[in-house]
Chains A and B, each alone.
Chain A
Amino acid sequence: MSNRMRHQTAGIKPSRSGWASPAALVGAVAVGLLLYFCVLPLALLVKHSFQGGDPFASYRLVASRAANWSALKGTLTVASGAAAIAFLLGVPLGWLVAATDLPGARSWRSLLALPYVVPAYIGAVGWTYLLSDRAGWLNRLLTEGLGAPALPVSIYSLEGIIFIEGVFFSPFVLMAVAEAVERIDPALEEAARVSGAGPVRVWLDVTWPMVRRAALGGALLAFLGTCASYGVPAVLGPSARPPVSVLTTRIKGYIDLHTTGGFRQATALSAVLLLAALAFPLAERTSGSDSRSAGSRPAGRKPVALGRWRTAALAGVGAVFGLTTFLPILALLISSLMENVGRGFSWENLSLVHYWVVLRRPEAGLALRNSFLLAASAATLAVGVGGTLALMQARGGLRWGWVLTPLAWLPYAAPGTVLAIGAILAYTGAWGINLYGTLWMLLAAYAAKYLALAYRMAAAGIEQVHPSMEEAARISGASRLRSILEVLVPMVRGHLVAAWFLVFMPSFGELTMSILLFGPDTPTLGTMLFELQSYEDPSAASVLAVLIVAVILLSNALVRRLSGGRYGI
């Protein structure tokens, strides 16, 4: 049986005439593209960091600055704290939504995973309305409304950053746990019950040991994601007392110096940050997210009855969702609708004036257009290239097909900041190509960064189609290309559409890379929001944030609709 499977998945062999065969040609082109767009930027970055008479000069310089050490410490502190919060939130929530009779478990699962698709910096902006020192609405409610003694909790703080990052990365743990729980054979737990273990005992002795690995993997992803994140510390860090600095913001600071020396030090710091990518494959594997896109959710588990805890659990889940996700988004919506934020809540103060003002600015129109164009092009490109790679690997019969996967994953594992600096090195003058300040620059970065998502989704789709489907078409008289276009592609259409949106969504509100790569003519929604937020007009920033969230949620709903709820959050 296994023989047969192995044999048939080998699929249609390309002509063994070697390098001249079309498959080998397409393969060579694909590897060339991967090398240029996914590997070259990072390779140049590492090389650049070692340049000069003394190869370690940049590193020595970087190490001599106390500020860099405190940035490193900041990154590690924030990331550990965020991973802990993600873990503490994700484990119970993941178990509740996947294993119990919590009312509306399905919907809660989607709602609690929302931060997965909404950029974290948008959450940070939302929180600034709620918990900025004296003016934050929640703080005012606590002090003025409830007469609490002055205890302004400030979101502009190390704790605030940790909290937001933790919340926004908690879906990694939640989904890993939920899926691990679903993979458990219910008979194992039932056997423990029959053997005399109470429900808590069963959880501790059977369930948790089987979920632990995935939960820790999810927490590691949260840790790495936080190390790489730029938006939240950039929005909140500078105004904290004492200011919070992390590696990504520090790198941006060096770039902003616009000096060669500054750039050299930025590359050295980036190379250090790139080390995080090494742990990424481990995190992906243990959390089980590398097999997530398969999309099959085994049914038939009998939910654990929560009994009298049901209401309490519901209240808890609702509170967590409300406090972590709903509230900041609501705050953004309200602030975008308040004519004058200082005047407080009243019907007269509600208006759409900011929407008008913002959308009438030519720059906003440009940013909106750019973001749409970039996200759609990146998604199309990533699906095209990722789909081709997946196809070659599954059906090409290439002996070296396995090298494609790590190459395609490299940019996704690398922090966005690092990838962007690599892109600057690779595409501003190297080999006569200068894309600086153009949309192409951003497109190259987006497509490379999110290629892996499209690749994985396409591969999952192709894996579900037995090669005999295309072989039957070949026998019927179809050429190889036709058998792919008329049989394989229609059969994986759902996966390809989902893959497209999986790239579109994070690209649409992208900030981390864009902030380093955009030029005067190429603002994106992310960069414009960030500048409005930090310098001029928080209300206008709220408008953009609401727009981004709306488009992302709409895309997500579309994916769920099209895939019958299999994909999307």
Chain B
Amino acid sequence: MMLNEGSPHAMPLTLLKYGLKRDYVPHREIPATPDLRRRYDVVIIGGGGHGLAAAHYLSKYHGIRNVAVLEKGYLAGGNTARNTTTIRSNYITNQSIRFYKEAVSLYEDMSHELNFNVMFSQRGQLTLAHSEATLRSFHLRAEMGKHHGTRISVVDPRQVKEICPHLNMDEGGQHEILGGLWHEDGGTARHDAVAWGYAAQAARRGVEIHQRTEVLGFDISGDKVSAIRTSRGTVSVGHVIQAAGGANQHVAKLAGIDMPIRCFPLQAMVTQPLKPFLHTLVSSANLHTYLMQSSRGEIVIGGGSDPYQLISTRSTLDIKEQLAHGAVQLFPFLHNVKLLRQWAGITDMTPDYTPIMGASPLRNYWLDCGWGTWGFKATPVAGKYLADTVANERVADILLPFSLGRFETMALINEMGATAASH
């Protein structure tokens, strides 16, 4: 094809000239990694969504800008870039619902807040019951959710069919759908955009983002961290926020802090793109499978964690078979569809499926850990209140129930039933 000035495909010559000009500086949303300074007011360990959100809130709302985010790999290359982006607040306990409800409302406004399109799509989440016991737990979750003002209700099979017409109801079969938990507030957002948006905002306000900078150890004097040793040198520090994803238990140990965390892989996969047919998030605890259709048309399929602990991102055929089985049970016409990609992340699992946030045994070391398989939705709300906590040197009220100390007082926040299969 001939390219000429009139063709929409032609790069206008003036644009080419502009790009080649000597004084043309390309616009970078996130600056190249600078040299480390000798001291920062706040160092954030982990450049995933959580660490970057904390950096945004510190720099925008608390005027704290002498901040470094240290990331051992590349930006958001941990679980943030591996997650299946379910955002929801249909938990069981008061403490969790209150917290995740604010998470969802922060997502509603996030594209504005960041001036960056995070593609938040509040399409609702439908969780399926194949047994009476599951239905009973749905009633509990629905009543708890309504009490807190979230949009949630138990729906019967006819309504399930209306919400998601392509579902195999399996009447009389082993996995008959007896009802559902319909959570209209549920949705998804683009994970890379969330991380990138926070990073760009934080960088604009002077936060330094250091990629390929691994935290290797700490200098501790008394009950405080005085300096952090990294693969690129040592920096002294006012406060530390630890948001190291799958490495949380190991990083805390470097600071002498024991965490009740074990690592389990969580796997997921996507199919080739299909015409849009799935307009909600669908999940089944009994089948350990959940599905959604991405804006590219791919079906994203995830499920439960691996059956034994591992510090590796290898994938297995066993889990792929299990996910495929669940997907084909719910949508039999998917049986011929090809898988495009599969992957895993290392998740930092707590005994009660609830995060550990707030104070640590060290006075200037703050935790944003134990996000396991469910932390993407909490990215904005955790960042907001961790920043608040550091700025005031006092744990924000909403975070208090999530303390590391809850294990010693047996004040666990058990969310296994509302988390294990849906994240």
User: Are A and B associated in one complex?
Assistant: no
Q: Which residues of B contact A (CB under 8 A)?
A: none
